[in-house]
Chain A
């Protein structure tokens, strides 16, 4: 099963290497890993998406706790959480195709952030499914470059039922 784990880690190159190395050394999967500054000075927040059965996920959580650079480990999968991924997609576009691409972009509520005679750069944010979908829609025009951030996630503060 897919798990989203959010970590608060010391902000150092060593932290990322130690965590990534622990995953590869112990044969755990990483679907995506994304890291950036957090609200606390000197601390980064890292979101890791991984897969495994319950025993493996338990080991992953325990091994993450053991890393001395890791301050906190939250396996968000047990709780309600929101997650997003950002992608920048450079797609080929002839003058004739531009309009069609812009329509697709609009349907996905994405944005065109750069344009040149031979193509467009699209920015899109959403779940992985949505990003996969827009990429599939744009692929026929010719993808020049795709850059994705991997998932970032936070827990929902309101955990109750909305109804």
Chain B
């Protein structure tokens, strides 16, 4: 198709006419206008001095739904949960200084997991920047290593374009958080609202389509494999490639293992599913990766929790890797066949030329391993095992709930025992491992997905880091559910202390000083139950799943010294796998 462009003089004339007709708005109005134009419906925020003018416009304008969170960290995690569940970017609005610094953990969490997040921070007026003014912090400097990019608005005339650039950067390529610092005077100043039609970022052109030659080469390599394993990470979910991954696996007839962040990309109920791999992955997933002759990494970055000792990781295989970020390729593990591109696009192309490989013997071998080394735990009369709780929840929700987990043992039990069937249903801080993520992330997911059941599964330690966001859920009648797997310990650290430090439980015992979680939840206005055995558990799940007008908190007392197995100790290899004696 030919695209004819008007001569420059003509274009300038039109531009000038349009500019004259454009309205004059304040920075605050332009901010709202630009967000609406980006399709934003919800922002998570917390007001303050630098933003008070903007909040006045939010009061008068009902185009954006603003949810007042209880702590800015919670706001950032909630926006992150919203983004993970919906696929749309999450938006956070906080004031300068402490408001901005409180979002740092949330930004770093989103950065490590490549979550598109827009963080708008108030800033002291331009002429006071650098003077150590009240509530001033150099948030651009503080967040430089944990943002994909950041902007300081120095001229209100640039505000609209800057916001559109920020959204573009956050959601395209390998997504990530982008911060925009808004000095107070920029929000009050007036200018002609005349945003550019195109986004001009000469240094930013992510590769979407895979190289034709590499895709052809890949098809050849795939056909010759006898023992392939497909290893899928969070990148495939970010690319919305569940359909393409499933088609690829079925066509090639190869088993699929996922990382923590890849859970849900391929139905775990499928025979080809190996569940999760890595430190607490299934025995058979790790065995398959150890034995395979071709490892196909899709949107996964060979993280140390997956590979353990790099020298001994998947020693007999050729490696193929598809990723949109070239810097992820060959960073930890040398790759024989890289394809840089968007996973959905590359796989769609690859699927047109891939045929079934000769994997029948390999699949039989794997089926045998699944029988010999299943995930397991021992039920004990009169006590609740945490795995049992997750398994029961998986059944009660038919694997269809959105589960946000926090960080620690319960996170691994969720990954092992909840059978995810759809993408964007498992929300977890994989890269940064942020305790305190679960409560606000579940809240944000429920806001973005009001029709889904959203359950935050948290430990008693992490719950207390951000439990105040229950106040937010009550404030807006958000029916998000929480299941606290309460074992009275910082369980994952305690497990390491038990195995590697001769049971010296240094600073990991939380009982008996834990609060009464039921009373705590009730005091916020949530519905709450305490659960101590399997009968109470089933009853509590029934009640919890029936409530749709307020948050629910279940305080589930589980056996205190249960461990997560299998386990490959840090920097170990498959040969070091511990299966436990439970």
Chain A interface residues (CB < 8 Å from chain B): 9-10, 14, 17-18, 21-22, 25, 55, 58-59, 62-63, 65-71
A-binding segment of B12-20, B199-207, B272-280, B432-440: B199-207
Per-residue CB contact flags for chain B residues 330-372 toward chain A (1 = under 8 Å, else 0) read 1100000000000000000000000000000000000000000
A10 and B331 form a contact (CB under 8 A)? no
Partner of A58, one of B140, B149, B202, B330: B330
Instruction: Tell me which residues across on chain B come within 8 A of A9, comparing CB atoms.
Output: 203
21 residue pairs of the A-B complex, CB under 8 angstroms, read: A9-B203, A10-B203, A14-B140, A14-B150, A14-B152, A17-B144, A18-B144, A21-B145, A22-B145, A25-B145, A58-B330, A59-B327, A59-B331, A62-B327, A63-B327, A68-B149, A68-B169, A68-B201, A69-B203, A70-B203, A71-B203
Residues of chain B within 8 A (CB-CB) of A17 are 141, 144
> In the complex the two chains form, what is the Cα distance from A139 to B150 in whole Å?
46
Distance in angstroms from A10 CB to nearest chain B CB is 7
- Whether B327 pairs with A21 at a CB distance below 8 angstroms is no
Q: Which A residues touch B331, using CB under 8 A?
A: 59
CB distance from A12 to the nearest CB of B (A): 10
Q: For A25, what are the chain B residues with a Cβ–Cβ distance below 8 Å?
A: 145
How many B residues are at the interface, by size bracket?
Answer: 10 to 19
A63 to B202 Cα, complex, angstroms: 16
User: Is B305 close to A, CB under 8 A?
Assistant: no
Which residues of B453-476 are within 8 A (CB) of A?
none
**Cβ A67 vs Cβ B330 within 8 A:** no
Interface string of B422-461 (1 = CB under 8 A from A): 0000000000000000000000000000000000000000
List the A side residues contacting B150 at CB < 8 Å.
14
* Cβ contacts under 8 Å, B144 to chain A: 17-18, 21
Residues of chain B with a CB closer than 8 A to A10's CB: 203
**B325 contacts chain A at the CB level, 8 A cutoff:** yes
Q: Which residue of A lies closest to B201 (CB)?
A: A68
Q: Cβ of B385 < 8 Å from any Cβ of A?
A: no
Complex Cα distance, B144 from A70, in Å, reads 15
Looking at the assembled complex, report how far the CB atom of A144 sits from the nearest CB atom of chain B, in whole angstroms: 33
Residues of A within 8 A of B201 (CB): 68
Residue ID in chain B nearest A15 by CB atoms: B203
B window 295-335: CB within 8 A of A: 325-327, 330-331
Which chain A residue lies CB-closest to B204? A68
CB atoms of B204 and A55 under 8 A apart: no
Residues of B within 8 A of A70 (CB): 203
The residues in B between 142 and 173 inclusive whose CB is less than 8 angstroms from any CB of A are 144-145, 148-150, 152, 169
